[in-house]
Amino acid sequence: MVARRRRLVVGNWKMNGDRAANAALLQAFLAERVGDEAEVSVCAPAPYLVQVSTLLEASSIAWGGQDCSSHESGAYTGEVSAAMLAELGCRHVIVGHSERRALHAESDVFVAEKAAAALRHGLVPIVCVGETLAEREAGATEQVVARQLAAVTALLGTDIDRVVVAYEPVWAIGTGRTASPEQADAVHSFLRDRLAEASAGSDAVRILYGGSVKADNAAQLFARPHIDGGLIGGASLKASEFAAICRAAAKTSTHGVASP
C-alpha cells in the first residue's frame, strides 16, 4: 500500500522581491484562503524573513530560508546560520539547490553538512537533488540522484527521517520544460526505495517535485503516487498561481500522517 503523506508546497522566491512586492504578494496569497489540507511554506531571501514572519505569523503558512551555513557561527562573512533562521521562526531551509551546487560549487558532502546543521537547530532541511540535461541524456539520472542522496543518508543515518527531499531536474528549472508526471514519478519511486534502504522509518519523508510547476500541470503531478508536493520557483511569485498549486495539492492531501 502506498503511504499517504500530507502534501507540502514550498515557494522558493530565489533572489526576487522587495518590501512592497513581498507585502503585496503575501496579502494577495492570504486573501486566496487556500486552507491547510496541504502544508504550505514560503522560502524568502534572508533579509526579508522578519518581514515575512510578521505577515504570516497569524496564518497557517510557514516560512523558511533558501540556504544555511554548515557552520555554527564565527568568521564566515556573508553566511546565515541555521540558528539564525530558527530564531526567525523558520520551519524549513532549502539546501543543495542546483543553482547553489552549480554557481557556488557546493559538493554533495557540503550539502549534507548543511542538512545536519539545519537539523541541529530544529529546522526541516529540504534537500534538493536532480540531474542536468547532459546527465539525463547519458542515462545517468538514477546514478546522479542516488549519489546526491547517499551523501546525506551517510551523514544523517536515521535522521534522514526528518528531512524533506526535493527532486528538481536541472533541465526543468525555469525553462518551462516540466518533467512529465511519469518521468518525475519514476525518479521519485527510485528515491523512495533509496530512502527505505537507508532507514526503516523513512516512510514519512516527503519527496517534492520542482521544475516549472504551474497551476495547469500541478494536479497531474500531485496525482502521482510518489509525488508528495512541489517546490515552486517562478509560479510562487504570483499569488493566484501559487494558490492554485496549493489547492491542487490539498485535493490529494490527507491529514493525520505525521511528517517532518
Among 35, 47, 157, 174, binds ligand 13P (CB under 6 A): 174
Side-chain-facing half-sphere of 204: CA atoms under 13 Å: 14
* Numbers of helices and strands, H then E, in the chain: 10, 8
Round to whole Å and give the CA distance between 64 and 125: 9
Residue nearest to ligand 13P (CB): 233
Strand partners, 166: 128, 208
Binding pattern to ligand 13P, positions 77-116, x when CB under 6 A? --------------------x-------------------
The CA–CA distances, whole Å, from 3 to 7, 37, 70, 257 equal: 12, 16, 32, 9
Identify any residues that bridge with 128 across adjacent strands, giving them in sequence order.
Answer: 166
Residue among 9, 40, 156, 173 that touches ligand 13P (CB under 6 A): 173
Under the criterion CB under 6 A, does residue 234 sit at the interface with ligand 13P? yes
Candidate segments 144-152, 192-200, 218-226, 227-235, binder of ligand 13P by CB under 6 A? 227-235
Cite the active site residues.
97, 168
148 is an interface residue for ligand 13P by CB under 6 A = no
> If binding is defined by CB under 6 A, does position 198 make contact with ligand 13P?
no
Q: Where are the alpha helices (DSSP H) in the chain?
A: 19-31, 49-56, 82-87, 98-103, 108-120, 133-137, 141-156, 181-198, 215-222, 239-251
Cα–Cα distance for residue pair 254/76, rounded to 1 Å: 42
Least Å distance, CB 94 to ligand 13P, is: 7
Q: Which of 39, 106, 161, 168 binds ligand 13P (CB under 6 A)?
A: 168
Min dist CB 243 to ligand 13P, Å, is 15
Contacting residue, 12, 69, 202, 253, with ligand 13P by CB under 6 A: 12
Contacts to ligand 13P by CB under 6 A: 12, 97, 168, 173-174, 210-213, 231-235
